[in-house]
Amino acid sequence: MPLSKRLAHAALALTLVAAPLPLRAQDAHHPGPQAEAKPAPRGPEGRRLPPDSTTRQSVKLPDGRSLDFTATAGSLPLVDEAGKLQAEIAYVAYTMAPEAGRERPVTFAINGGPGAASAYLNLGAIGPWRLPTGGASISPSQAVTLTPNDGTWLDFTDLVFIDPVGTGYSRASDGNGKTYWSIDSDAATLAAVIARYLRVNDRMASPKFYVGESYGGFRGPLITEKLQEEIGIGLSGMVLLSPVLDFGWLETPRANPWGYVLKLPSLAAGALERAGTMPDPALLSDAEAYAAGPYLTDLLKGPSDKAAVARMTDKVAPLTGFDPAFVRAQAARLSTRSIQREIDRTEGRVTSAYDTGITGWDPNPDAAQPSFEDPQLTALQAPLTSAMLDLYARTLKWPLPNLRYELLSNAVNRGWSWGSGRQAPEVLSNLKGVLALDGQLRVLVAHGFTDLVTPYYASKLLLAQVPAYGAGRLSLAVYPGGHMFYSRDDSRAAFKRDVQRLYQDALKARDSRSAPPAGAPVEQLKDTP
């Protein structure tokens, strides 16, 4: 049974009261007279987050274009049927004035973890500002000055970044968010938040899209299904960025060969990069064919089959760039932790599991057992948190000096309930369902070549299992880089082009279905830029 069929009914009963009118603040980029700000109604008792703040903003993109937009930082209160406050959901929205006679699309962005705030997508990938973090290493003490984002989606869609309970500034009213920390209640709650934002802001007629990264990608089909079947809202498109589609494929025991098969093409991509060659699908076709063919066959023979180990070593070593002795010692079953240490062992550095092109120093290079923090995920914690706090306080005029901002909450991650079923959670079934139900829905699955956490080859094989009704509406794109490939300039630009094409196709399909009958007066519509 699809996971969404078992969504907690308690979470569905929750509703969102109308958000208070925003407190308008004049941004520093637009000096001038300002009307006296009056406190907005606070809604249900017990709210900890301040009234919403709305500011006028402008960014000048590297190509010379300027985007003038409205930014709102605030929250939606979550209440039960008796009107008692249950939680406050923080969000940041960027909106632009629509073209005459046309509803502007709105996109809801949610990160993963579970336990991650939406700052990664906001300041890393698609928001109007970006925190530069590109390069072979990341410094926690780097400058946190934001720059205009050449990869922002704001020029073709409004953006709403949502922080689930326990992340960012979103909190349960009683301080205990465990009610929301499960696959079922999380999806139900976030679908309700999206629906409430649309109602409060009179956006129900707008084309609606979703983008989710990592576990946020896992959430996408669940939320879309919930909106379609139970709330009565249809999305025009989804972008699933470095998603997990089936945990059973990624969290396998060491004796299960499948995990090694899925990672091998990404290891080959990393070897190409280290040799100075940018990976692409054509260059990795040999690694993919070998991984799902002779490699899998020899893995199934077991590590005691010396002939099989020899054959794999002869093929895996040159594909991955590792010393044959290292490959042979692991019977060609390369664990992620050993790989992270081996890639740059001579320099005493370790590589990120999220992107094998990013490295940091090994704190104990002489230790027999590796012990180190991830050079990308952990190193990003300080600069991204500081940049988000600065954005809230100085630019968005929504400072919260007495509340901790949770960029990546260990409490949420450790406290997450994965259900009690016999099978690992998966959303491929839900993805099939939403595509089958809506023949206009478009989906883009995007990955980085050198990501070992959610390897692209897993999604490639899983998406091949979707029947023909998804043809032309379901696509996979893979870019140089890792889990957060958008930190690379060229990949971010290519990603934006692919996403913009998806939006154009989705809006054309939507417009064609809503066209008036022959003979009726027609207003001339423009394609989305």
Whether 32 shows a pLDDT value over 60: the answer reads no
User: Which residues are CB-contacts of 167 (< 8 A; sequence separation ≥ 6)?
Assistant: 111, 113, 115, 116, 117, 118, 406, 407, 408, 409, 412
The predicted pLDDT at position 42 comes to: 52
Which amino acid type is present at position 510?
R
Q: Which regions of 119-275 does DSSP assign to beta strands (E)?
A: 129-130, 147-148, 158-162, 171-172, 208-213, 237-241
In angstroms, the CA 260 to CA 296 distance is: 9
In the chain the first and final C-alpha atoms are separated, in Å, by 41
In angstroms, the CA 502 to CA 496 distance is: 10
Whether 20 shows a pLDDT value over 50: the answer reads no
Q: Identify the band that residue 372 occupies on the pLDDT scale cut at 50, 70 and 90.
A: low
Asked if residues 481 and 357 have their Cβ atoms less than 8 Å apart, the reply is: yes
The predicted pLDDT at position 26 comes to: 31
The predicted pLDDT at position 175 comes to: 82
In angstroms, the CA 241 to CA 421 distance is: 26
Say if strands 85-95 and 158-162 run parallel, antiparallel, or are unpaired: antiparallel
Element (H, E) at 219: helix 215-226
Whether 475 shows a pLDDT value over 60: the answer reads yes
For residue 396, what are the CA distances in angstroms to 23, 147, 195, 372, 393? 11, 15, 24, 36, 6
pLDDT digits (tens, 9 = 90+) for 273-328: 999 999 999 999 999 999 999 999 999 999 999 999 999 999 999 999 999 999 99
Give me the phi and psi of 148, to 5 degrees please: -60, 135
Average pLDDT (176-189) is: 92
CB atoms within 10 A of CB 321: 16
Give 376-391 as a DSSP string: THHHHHHHHHHHHHHI
Average pLDDT (213-236) is: 97
Whether 151 shows a pLDDT value over 70: the answer reads yes
CB atoms within 10 A of CB 119: 26
Whether 406 shows a pLDDT value over 50: the answer reads yes
Whether 5 shows a pLDDT value over 50: the answer reads no
Give me the phi and psi of 110, to 5 degrees please: -140, 135
pTM of the model: 0.87
pLDDT digits (tens, 9 = 90+) for 245-262: 999 888 777 778 999 999
Ramachandran class of 109: left when φ > 0, alpha when ψ lies in -120 to 50, beta otherwise:
beta
Q: Flag the least confident range among 7-21, 229-243, 473-487.
A: 7-21
Average per-residue pLDDT for the chain: 86
